Amino acid sequence: MSPAFALRAAGVVLAAALLQTVVVSSLSIAGGAPDLLLVAVVSLGLLRGASAGAVLGFLAGLVVDLLALETLGITSLVLTLAGYWAGRYAETTGRGKRLAPLAAVGVITVLATVFGLLLHVMLGEAVAARETLLGPLPPTLAANLVLALPVHALVRLLVHGREEAEPVAEVELVG
C-alpha cells in the first residue's frame, strides 16, 4: 500500500464515516437507512484487495464507534470482515466482472446485518431480530444496491488518481 494511496483511502474512510453518522443514518427510507460506509469499505476492498480492505474496514469501524460513542470494536469487527471478503471476492471469482460491486454490496449487506445481529445478541444486548432483519434490511439493501456502482466509481476516482489498480487474480479461466 503506497503512502499516497493510504492517505487517500484514509480520507475516503473518514469522510464516509462522518457522512454516515451525521447525515446518512438520519435518512429514513421506508424504515431503513443506506449504509454508505459499508458500501465504501466494500469498494475499497474490491479495488485494493483483502488486506487493504480489512485494514480500512477496521479503521472505518473505529471512527464510527468513536463518533457514535458506541462499544469500540463492534463496527470494526463487522467492517474488517466485510472489507476482507470484498477483497477476496475481487481477487478470485469477482475478478474482471463489471457488476462485482453490485454483487459484493448485496451479499455483504445481508451478511453484515446478520453477523451484526449475532454479535449484539452474543454481547447480551436486547435486539429484536424481526425489528432489525425484516424491517430495515430490505430498504437498506435496496438503497445500498443503488449506491453500489456510483460509490464504487467515486471511490475508484478518489483513491486511485493516476495510479492504476493492482491486478487481482487467483484463478484463471482457460477454456
Partner 1 sequence: MTVRRIPTTRLGSRGAGALRRRLTLGALVLLSLVLITLTFRADEAGPLGGARSTGAAVLKPFAVGLERVAQPFRDAYGWADGLLGARAEAERYRREVRELRQQLIQSEFALREAADLRDLLGYLDGPRFPDDYRAVAAEVIGWPPSTFVRSIVIAAGAKAGVRKDDPVLNADGLVGVVTRVTTGTARVQLLTDPEAAASAIVLPTGARGIVRHGRGTAETFFLDRVRKEDVVRPGDRVVTAGARLGDLGSLYPKGIPIGEVTSVNQTDTDLFQQIQIEPYVDFGSLDAVIVLVPTERRP
What CA–CA distance (Å, rounded) separates 75 from 56?
12
Q: Say whether residue 144 binds partner 1 (CB under 8 A).
A: no
What CA–CA distance (Å, rounded) separates 15 from 10?
9
Among residues 8, 103, 114, 120, the one that binds partner 1 under rule CB under 8 A = 120
Closest CA to 73 of 84, 86, 52, 59: 59
Q: Tell me if 87 sits within 8 A of 52, measured CB to CB.
A: yes
Cβ atoms within 10 A of the Cβ of 120, count?
Answer: 15
Q: Say whether residue 35 binds partner 1 (CB under 8 A).
A: yes
Q: Say whether residue 2 binds partner 1 (CB under 8 A).
A: no
Among residues 16, 42, 50, 155, the one that binds partner 1 under rule CB under 8 A = 50
The contact set with partner 1 (CB under 8 A) reads 14, 18-23, 25-26, 28, 31-33, 35, 37, 49-51, 54-55, 57-58, 61-77, 80-81, 84, 91, 113, 116-117, 120, 123, 125-128, 130-132, 135-137, 140, 168-175
